[in-house]
Amino acid sequence: MGLNGVSWVRKLDNSKPYFDTQFTRPYMDYKDKRNAGNKFQALKLIWKDRDVLVVEGTKSRFGVGNDLLSNTRSVKRILAPSTNAFEKIDDIRNKILQETSNGDVLVLLSLGPTATVLAAELSEKNIQSIDIGHVDIEYSWYLMGATEKVPVAGKYVNEVPNGGHEVNEISNQDLNNKYHSEVVSIISK
């Protein structure tokens, strides 16, 4: 429970539900990684058979090169600045509202602290959204069997200063074409 765990547990109200704030990090931070596969399968149920709008940094490429989003009905993407995205929050929000105006769309936000703010704002407008954080990178590390944070080919990994910020183009032409066909908007700095 850590250094202060017992004092925290005493403050909990057993009549209230509590959720795991680390649900977007189900792999790397755990010493025992055996249950990670089950956690990822449960996460995938959230967007199963849904129209999904991914809002991400320009080189994040959430779900590209793995099967994380393979069970969705459709995927569209809004690409925003990889760093300092908050400077463009109004443009990002307006584009999200435009893309979600035609129905039941699940918005997956992978855009650092800006995602947290947008998720709160979108929920006030009855738009289901999730600050999905680093799930894609965690899933990539899981598939690799990585035991430490390492670069992921073709993706921006902000937590890996040596090689994580170097992002190559998508080498598989079919995958590259699919990814670019999903991009509905690019918001530049």
CA dihedral sign of residues 162, 165, 166, 171: positive
What are 3-33's pLDDT values in tens digits?
777 887 888 888 888 777 788 999 999 999 9
pLDDT of 176 above 70? yes
What are 83-140's pLDDT values in tens digits?
899 999 999 999 999 999 988 999 999 999 999 999 999 999 999 999 999 999 999 9
Over range 41-58, report the average pLDDT. Answer: 97
What pLDDT sits at residue 189? 86
What pLDDT sits at residue 1? 56
